[in-house]
């Protein structure tokens, strides 16, 4: 029976931090200390190699340059990957990697923690140990999980379906539009029907071109025309994720619709996503979204904002025709929309 060879990648975040005894401020520590803090790792039925970013970062400092580096160089040498990452932007990174790693047929599991590994009540140990277990699961000598997942507080989620919902509860993430991939209790229960089943014979393709000339605009009652004009007329702007109300609704005032039309005519892609944490955009359901459909706004359906942002960067990096862009955006590429 084969055992899995897992690569543990430490990028930074609370999970690998200690409190400075003088100032009380959290700072990163040498990654080797992580293994010393959790000797139980040696009991797992897999081999674990570790690498760390030279300078571990708080995830607020993550950017697209870091994303592709995480897996590509090591893909062929391991059966699975566990990425230790700050929780603040973990959903963005997990979503981004899901798009950048086309034909992924191995597990890439993101995890982190709310309390540092050295804290008495830490959630780091369980998150880390179970993430490694999940990543090392094999069936007929092949990985069980073949996608980018996010494991936190007893649940494995599809990475590009997650959002950080709480800054202090251990249950910090939610996947409101897609079921959990696995739940850890006395037994580790895998929800097989919900796992991605890619064709493992197709080679991994890593897409590194992520175009960041985009904006995220959240509507609110009273938002001004001049503010939106400034954003919509920014130099080099190529795409906007527009967070609308409810099932994709927005004001029907003329100035607003005209602004959107002008942007679309200039070739800017506008994606309609809902401000609600769960549910889907359904353009045309109400009068307040019928016009959006007519003028060529793209529906994000039930995609998360994090996945919409990273999918937009990914598709803009491919220089597609506008028809292909729209079709691909509205199609599920990695299980990110229903
Ligand atoms: N600020 C930290 C980070 O995202 C929080 C965490 O690790 O959970 O890097």
Do the Cβ atoms of 303 and 328 come closer than 8 Å? no
Q: Which atom of ligand 1 is nearest to the CA of 90?
A: 4
Write down which residue in 206, 222, 243 finishes a domain: 206
Verify whether residue 14 is a known catalytic residue.
yes
Residue 167 Cα to ligand 1 midpoint, Å, equals: 9
Compute the distance from residue 15 Cα to the ligand 1 centre, in Å: 8
Residue 232 sits in the same domain as residue 163: no
Q: Is residue 317 part of a domain?
A: yes
Asked whether residue 28 falls in the same domain as residue 128, the answer is: yes
124 C-alpha to center of ligand 1: Å?
12
Residues 187 and 315 in one domain: no
Residues of the chain with pLDDT under 50: none
In a domain, 172, yes or no: yes
Residue 306: what pLDDT?
98
pLDDT at 40: 86
Query: Do 60 and 166 share a structural domain?
Result: yes
Give the Cα separation of 96 and 307 in Å (integer): 7
329 alpha carbon to ligand 1 midpoint, in Å?
Answer: 30
Q: Which residue ranges have their beta carbon within 6 Å of ligand 1?
A: 12-14, 58-60, 86-88, 112
- Indicate the number of domains in the chain: 2
The pLDDT value recorded for residue 32 is 67
Residues 187 and 246 in one domain: no
Query: What pTM value is reported for the model?
Result: 0.95
Q: How many CB atoms lie within 10 A of CB 55?
A: 8
Nearest protein CA to atom 3 of ligand 1, as residue: 86
pLDDT tens track for 170-199: 999 999 999 999 999 999 999 999 999 999
**Domain of 178, in residue numbers:** 4-206
**What pLDDT sits at residue 127?**
96
Q: Which of 11, 12, 14 to mutate to test the pocket of ligand 1 (most atoms within 8 A of CB)?
A: 14
Looking at the structure, tell me whether residues 176 and 238 fall in a common domain. Answer: no
Residue 338 lies in a domain: no
Same domain for 171 and 236, yes or no, is: no
pLDDT tens by residue, 20-38: 778 878 776 666 666 676 7
Q: Tell me which long-range contacts 179-182 makes (C-beta under 8 A, separation of at least 24).
A: 180/155, 180/156, 181/145, 181/149, 181/156, 181/157, 182/134, 182/145, 182/155, 182/156
Among 53, 87, 118, 123, name the best residue to mutate to test ligand 1's pocket (greatest count of ligand atoms within 8 A of Cβ).
87
- The answer as to whether 202 is a domain residue is yes
What is the structure's pLDDT at 33? 62
Residue 337 lies in a domain: no
Tell whether 199 and 219 lie within a shared domain.
no
């Amino acid at each position: 029976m084969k055992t899995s060879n897992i690569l543990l990648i430490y990028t930074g975040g609370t999970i690998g931090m200690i409190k400075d005894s003088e100032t009380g401020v959290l700072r990163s520590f040498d990654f080797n200390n992580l293994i010393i803090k959790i000797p139980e790792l040696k009991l797992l039925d897999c081999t674990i190699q570790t690498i760390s970013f030279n300078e571990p970062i708080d995830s607020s400092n993550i950017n697209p340059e870091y994303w592709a580096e995480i897996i590509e160089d090591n893909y062929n040498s391991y059966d699975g990957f566990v990425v230790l990452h700050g929780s603040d932007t973990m959903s963005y990174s997990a979503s981004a990697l899901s798009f950048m790693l086309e034909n992924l047929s191995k597990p890439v599991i993101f995890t982190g923690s709310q309390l540092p590994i050295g804290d008495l009540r830490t959630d780091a140990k369980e998150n880390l140990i179970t993430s490694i277990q999940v990543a090392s699961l094999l069936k007929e000598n092949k990985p069980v999980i073949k996608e980018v997942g996010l494991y936190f507080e007893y649940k494995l989620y599809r990475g590009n379906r997650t959002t950080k919902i709480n800054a202090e509860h251990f249950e910090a993430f939610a996947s409101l539009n897609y079921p959990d991939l696995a739940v850890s209790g006395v037994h580790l229960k895998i929800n097989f029907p919900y796992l991605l089943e890619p064709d493992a014979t197709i080679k991994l393709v890593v897409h590194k071109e992520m175009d960041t000339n985009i904006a995220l605009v959240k509507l609110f009652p009273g938002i001004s025309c001049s503010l939106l004009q400034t954003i919509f007329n920014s130099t080099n702007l190529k795409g906007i994720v527009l967070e609308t109300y409810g099932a994709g609704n927005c004001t029907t005032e003329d100035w607003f619709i005209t602004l959107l039309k002008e942007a679309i005519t200039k070739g800017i892609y506008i994606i309609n996503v809902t401000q609600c944490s769960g549910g889907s955009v359904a353009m045309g359901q109400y009068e307040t979204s019928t016009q959006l459909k007519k003028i060529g706004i793209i529906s994000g359906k039930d995609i998360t904002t994090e996945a919409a942002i990273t999918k937009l960067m990914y598709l803009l990096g491919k220089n597609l025709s506008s028809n292909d862009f729209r079709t691909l955006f509205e199609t599920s590429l990695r299980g990110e929309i229903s």
